[in-house]
């Protein structure tokens, strides 16, 4: 599948402009510095929907990653295969004006605005690729993939980072959501330091704001935790077999 850029309508461009402008105002001071830098590196603006061909040129210079168009949510095996090969799958369809505040299924704004900027950070993409390789290793074990999804959820989608003593957001699920941006940094949810075992033992829901968030100190911490992630998953699989 390819992104057919000329198929975007004026309404599509207007929706992108509204979503980008509104969310940038919310996050430009609370998003991780690497996201802000990444937006500049890949030249995303509110003026127009990103063209994947141009985006990929910028990503190639930064980390060697690429964005590939997909029709929607892809199966686990295909998803991990793409990530393992430094390719991030992203939808090309955009919500309509009457869906600005809520969508059940992630659209292009979530996939592209939320995820792509951090693909310019080497430690972050190395972590993403490492998770994918663990996923491929255990692809035939549904429980292992479920446990791995918790790591992905509480980092790539809903992770927080501590920068200069302040909490910042880096997870795409937060970055693309005005409501979750404010909620995640408030005193309402629980905040915990990054802990692989605690995350793997934490369930989550997709239809509400998260009740807990995990905080990393830097992106290298994610990358260096890959061995621990694989070990804890294997330990949980052994425990399940025994029980």
The annotated binding site is made up of 110, 115, 157
151: closest CA among 209, 83, 200, 193?
200
User: Which residue bears the tokens 């999804």?
Assistant: 149
Cα–Cα distance measured from residue 172 to residue 45, given in angstroms and rounded to the nearest whole number: 17
Angle at the Cα of 159 (from 156 to 162), degrees rounded to 5? 130
The DSSP code for 164 is T
The DSSP code for 74 is P
DSSP string for 122-145:
HHHHHHHHHHHHHHHHTTT-HHHH
- Beta carbons of 156 and 132 less than 8 angstroms apart: no
User: Which residue bears the tokens 């309509």?
Assistant: 96
User: 202: which residues sit within 8 A by CB, 6+ positions away?
Assistant: 150, 154, 212
**Residue positions in the annotated binding site for Fe cation?**
110, 115, 157
Cα–Cα distance measured from residue 214 to residue 229, given in angstroms and rounded to the nearest whole number: 15
């Amino acid at each position: 599948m390819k992104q057919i850029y000329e198929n975007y309508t004026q309404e599509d461009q207007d929706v992108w402009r509204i979503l980008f402008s509104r969310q940038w105002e919310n996050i430009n001071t609370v998003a991780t510095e690497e996201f802000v830098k990444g937006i500049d590196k890949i030249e995303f603006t509110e003026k127009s929907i990103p063209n994947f061909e141009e985006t990929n040129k910028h990503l190639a210079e930064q980390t060697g990653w690429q964005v590939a168009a997909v029709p929607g949510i892809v199966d686990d095996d295909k998803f991990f295969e793409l990530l393992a090969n430094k390719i991030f799958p992203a939808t090309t369809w955009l919500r309509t004006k009457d869906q600005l505040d809520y969508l059940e299924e992630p659209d292009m704004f979530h996939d592209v605005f939320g995820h792509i900027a951090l693909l310019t950070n080497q430690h972050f993409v190395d972590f993403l690729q490492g998770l994918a390789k663990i996923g491929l290793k255990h692809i035939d074990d549904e429980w292992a993939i479920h446990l791995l999804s918790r790591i992905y959820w509480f980092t790539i989608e809903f992770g927080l980072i501590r920068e200069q003593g302040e909490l910042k957001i880096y997870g795409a699920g937060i970055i693309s959501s005005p409501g979750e941006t404010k909620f995640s940094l408030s005193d309402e949810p629980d905040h915990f330091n990054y802990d692989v075992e605690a995350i793997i033992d934490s369930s989550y829901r997709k239809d509400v704001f998260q009740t807990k968030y995990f905080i990393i100190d830097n992106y290298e911490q994610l990358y260096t935790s890959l061995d621990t992630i694989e070990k804890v998953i294997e330990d949980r699989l052994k425990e399940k077999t025994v029980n």
